């Protein structure tokens, strides 16, 4: 077992001191569920247990607040509120799927990442129940991808489908912690791109892979509904300390998750969608070189010079415009289409021949 780092030790100590104080003030465990996914053989259930105070929603409902008013209040939430959380470590949890109970326990960060074999659910969307000790039962959505599925989409989020201008620290902090979640805007044409892809491949699942924090998933889900983007599991990361240091590696998170998806769905070939503001071209090209039969195409949204400056300080893509993908020749012996454009509609025009 890895020795805990100073950062994780300090975080655990702070949480241990906070938990009894917050419990005395009436805070209670609350389960936040994330969209899970799986195959007919295995299902991945994702959730987190936090200690939270009563946010007033129930009280507002008692005095006559409408559902629309409550949603409007949620939409106006500032991003920084998503990060004021206290995890409940190592709490017992029971996941109920198709009438069967599966006991588990959250980790030191309050996260549940449970792999359930032989879950018994058919392909499609389903609701399951997560019951953490001391918390109200919570419904989680899960997507079971059928064994006959041969094509799917994996998409980045930041500056690919939603304008966030990360990773430049000050701009990212402003977008995440200060701006209202309801002011975030979709990248032009990306909703139309997904609509075209789903029309061409109606049964294709869509999964989102991001270096963003799990804390922002509820706000992202509201943004996706408002922007008419397809629903799908969001595979995020925890920004907090690990056993090896202060912060997790976003690039390693993406590489590891992509390879896990290849293992989980050995018959699926993926359309990889990202942007050139971070490392998506490099990571996707690497995967396509290693597994050319598992990548249908790569679509990269090109940021404008201004967006590049805001994103990482220079007016060019992070590869300096040298074209690391060499005009789409990502592998030897097989050509994996690699398309680039400034918006979703232009990307679709280049993708169309490869998907229809």
Closest CA to 343 of 227, 192, 230, 190: 190
Asked if residue 35 lies in contact with residue 232, where contact means CB atoms within 8 angstroms, the answer is yes
- At the second CATH level, the architecture of 6-144 is Sandwich (2.60)
Asked if residue 317 lies in contact with residue 340, where contact means CB atoms within 8 angstroms, the answer is no
Q: What angle separates helix 190-200 from helix 344-355, to the nearest 10 degrees?
A: 10
Cα–Cα distance between 213 and 289 in angstroms, integer?
29
For the segment 86-123, what is each residue's pLDDT rounded down to a tens digit?
A: 888 899 999 999 999 999 999 988 999 999 999 999 99
Where in the chain is CATH 3.40.50.1000? 151-355
Instruction: Tell me the fold of 151-355.
Output: Rossmann fold (3.40.50)
Cα–Cα distance between 285 and 273 in angstroms, integer?
12
Give this prediction's pTM: 0.82
What's the mean per-residue pLDDT of the chain? 80
Query: Is pLDDT larger for residue 326 or for residue 67?
Result: 326
**Residue 44 in tokens:** 């991945």
For the segment 274-285, what is each residue's pLDDT rounded down to a tens digit?
A: 999 879 999 999
Where in the chain is CATH 2.60.40.10? 6-144
Q: What is the pLDDT of residue 271?
A: 98
What is the pLDDT averaged over residues 156-165?
Answer: 88
**Residue 145 in tokens:** 């991808």
Asked if residue 261 lies in contact with residue 295, where contact means CB atoms within 8 angstroms, the answer is no
């Amino acid at each position: 077992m890895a020795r805990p780092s100073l950062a994780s030790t300090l975080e655990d100590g702070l949480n241990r001191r906070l938990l009894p104080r917050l419990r005395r003030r009436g805070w209670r465990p609350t389960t936040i569920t994330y969209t899970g996914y799986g195959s007919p053989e295995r299902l991945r259930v994702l959730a987190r247990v936090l200690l939270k105070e009563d946010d007033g929603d129930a009280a507002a409902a008692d005095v006559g607040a409408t559902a629309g008013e409550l949603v409007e209040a949620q939409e106006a939430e500032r991003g920084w509120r998503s990060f004021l959380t206290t995890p409940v470590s190592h709490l017992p949890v029971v996941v109920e799927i198709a009438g069967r109970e599966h006991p588990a326990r959250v980790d030191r960060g309050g996260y549940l990442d449970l792999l359930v074999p032989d879950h018994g659910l058919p392909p499609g969307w389903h609701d399951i129940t997560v019951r953490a000790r001391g918390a109200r039962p919570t419904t989680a959505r899960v997507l079971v991808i059928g064994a006959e599925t041969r094509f799917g989409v994996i998409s980045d989020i930041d500056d690919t489908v939603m304008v966030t201008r990360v990773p430049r620290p000050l701009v990212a902090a402003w977008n995440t912690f200060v701006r209202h979640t309801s002011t975030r805007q979709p990248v032009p044409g990306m909703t139309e791109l997904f609509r075209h892809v789903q029309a061409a491949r109606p049964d294709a699942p869509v999964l989102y892979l991001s270096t963003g924090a799990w804390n922002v998933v509820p706000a992202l889900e509201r943004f996706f509904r408002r922007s008419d983007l397809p629903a799908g599991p969001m595979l995020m990361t925890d920004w907090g300390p690990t056993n090896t240091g202060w912060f997790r590696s976003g690039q390693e998170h993406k590489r590891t998750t992509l390879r896990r998806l290849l293992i989980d769905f050995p018959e699926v070939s993926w359309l990889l969608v990202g942007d050139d503001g971070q490392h998506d071209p490099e990571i996707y090209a690497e995967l396509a070189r290693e597994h050319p039969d598992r990548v249908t195409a790569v679509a990269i949204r090109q940021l404008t010079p201004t967006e590049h400056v805001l994103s990482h300080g220079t007016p060019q893509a992070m590869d300096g415009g040298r074209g690391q993908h060499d005009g789409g020749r990502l592998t030897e012996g097989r050509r994996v289409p690699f398309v680039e454009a400034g918006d979703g509609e232009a990307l679709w025009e280049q993708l169309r021949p490869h998907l229809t």
